[in-house]
Amino acid sequence: MPSSSRKITLLGATGSIGRSTLDVISQHPDAYELYAATAHRSRESLLDICLRFAPARAVIGTESDAEWLRAKLHEAGRGDVDVDHGEAALLDVARAAEADTVMAAIIGAAGLLPTLAAVEAGKRVLLANKEALVMSGGLFMDAVSRHGATLLPIDSEHNAIYQCLPMQHRGGLSRHGVSRLLLTASGGPFREWSREALEAVTPDQACAHPNWSMGRKISVDSATLMNKGLELIEACWLFDAGPDQVEVVVHPQSIVHSMVGYVDGTVLAQMGNPDMRTPIAYGLAWPARVEAGVEPLDLFAVSRLDFEAPDEARFPCLRLAREAMTAGGTAPASLNAANEVAVQAFLDGKLSFLGIARLVQATLEATEVRAADSLDVVLCEDARARQLAERLLRQRSFQEGRA
């Protein structure tokens, strides 16, 4: 346990990762203190968090929600919480000197700038938001080393790989005798479904993940295997690996969270019950360990572990992500942007499940790859891919599957 308490800024406090982080913090009130909590729209949840954890600061999306929150806190005798709103306030809490640790748990591209702000302030950054690395991996990792930030992966697979690598693994995997990274995937709820059956999948079916309880966007990504594609890109940047050094292994029980293969034939695996509180507690306490509230793994109850190859014909998103990483430059940012548009359209009932991969592919085919040498270029390509995906979506030929 750390000698003095860590002060934490929780970006995306009301989401699935945000709630799990608060759960771990609440188990160790002497070790961790919530300095700031942020949310986009969920003002009721942010109010509950402020009342329960008494952070110094809270940030919400709009001015009217901030006013509502201020009034409610005042009524409850907690008018001392400093409430602010909007993107500038988000960047400000991310870099605030009062906190030493930032949990980056905003969903999607919106998480990029606040996460980068925390990195540039040299914080310990607990990285759940994978999109920041997918969009701007090279720039992001440069900023981590330039500003002396400590980056700890929270995505369960990357956290597992991190745990299976030597403590100081910087400087190339091969220097440490690593031959490959084995990224496990549950295969999602439709692992055994035929292509015909996949055509009729509904949002609620896609969001019902068999092993993990997560937000809706990432649940859909898990069902299409785009989540694994984004994680492949994330792994390449985090661990300085080429796309050909990362192998995806479908493992339906989600007990092995990922593995590292070494040149002598050793494969190290990190195992546990599928519960995000384990990687979150790891990130908070690193390099020590604290209890996370997670049940011990009962291997007799699990009884068997299965592994199989992913089927990229039924789940083409994985291939699209690998191709984008191989193409390099702004291709992964365009892939991510097109996917965000496609998933939202699917959740809104405007696109079929298989249409998600088709829309991402069509967007990438019509997109030029540029060198991702500045944040402006990345954000410009992100916006361009979104517009293009929206335009394709409106085309009747696309909706009918002929595009």
Which residues bind to ligand NAD, rule: CB under 6 A? Answer: 12-18, 39-40, 42, 105-107, 110-111, 128-131, 155, 212, 214-215, 217-218, 276
Going by the DSSP 8-state scheme, the letter that residue 110 receives in this structure is: G
- The secondary structure of residue 147, as a DSSP letter, is T
Query: Between residues 118 and 235, which has the closer beta carbon with respect to Mg ion?
Result: 235
Which of residues 115 and 156 has its CB atom nearest to Mg ion in the complex?
156
Q: Is the dihedral of CA 28, 34, 39, 45 positive or negative?
A: positive
Residue 39 binds which of ligand NAD, Mg ion, none (CB < 5-8 A, kind-dependent): ligand NAD
340 binds Mg ion (CB under 5 A): no
Q: Which is nearer to ligand NAD, 280 or 364 (CB)?
A: 280
234 binds Mg ion per the rule CB under 5 A: no
Burial (CB count within 10 angstroms: exposed 0-12, middle 13-18, buried 19+), residue 196: exposed
Q: Which of residues 124 and 130 has its CB atom nearest to ligand NAD in the complex?
A: 130
Neighbours of 171 (CB within 10 A): 9
221 lies in the site for Mg ion, by CB under 5 A: no
Answer with the entry of ligand NAD, Mg ion, none that 355 interacts with (C-beta below 5 to 8 A by kind).
none
Stretch that binds Mg ion, among 4-12, 54-62, 157-165, 271-279 (CB under 5 A): 157-165
The contact mask relative to Mg ion for 101-140 (x = CB under 5 A, - = no) is ----------------------------------------
Quick check: 241 and 254 in contact, CB under 8 A?
no
User: Min. distance of Cβ 219 from ligand NAD in angstroms?
Assistant: 8
Residue nearest Mg ion, Cβ-based? 155
Query: 71: which 2 tokens?
Result: 């009034």
Report the partner that residue 129 touches, choosing among ligand NAD, Mg ion, none (CB closer than 5 to 8 A by kind): ligand NAD
Helix axis angle, 277-285 relative to 156-164, nearest 10°? 50
Shortest spacing between CB 146 and ligand NAD, in angstroms: 23
Q: Half-sphere exposure (CA, 13 Å, Cβ side) for 176? A: 18
Q: What are the DSSP calls for 149-165, one per residue?
A: -EEEE-SHHHHHHHHHS
DSSP conformation letters of 156-220 = HHHHHHHHHS-SS--S-SGGGTEEEEEEEE---TTTT--HHHHHT--HHHHH--SS----HHHHH
Least distance (Å) between residue 231 CB and Mg ion: 5
Is 155 a binder of Mg ion (CB under 5 A)? yes
Residue number, 106 or 259, with CB nearest to ligand NAD: 106
Could you give the CA distance from residue 351 to residue 353 in angstroms, rounded to a whole number?
7
Report d(CA 403, CA 341) in Å as an integer.
17
Residue 354 contact partner, candidates Mg ion, ligand NAD, none, CB within 5 to 8 A by sort of partner: none
- In the structure encoding, which two tokens stand for residue 113, read together? 């700038």
Kindly tell me which of 214 and 362 has the beta carbon lying closer to ligand NAD: 214
Which residue number, 155 or 382, has a Cβ lying nearer to Mg ion?
Answer: 155
In the complex, what is the shortest distance from the CB of residue 345 to Mg ion, in angstroms, rounded to a whole number? 23
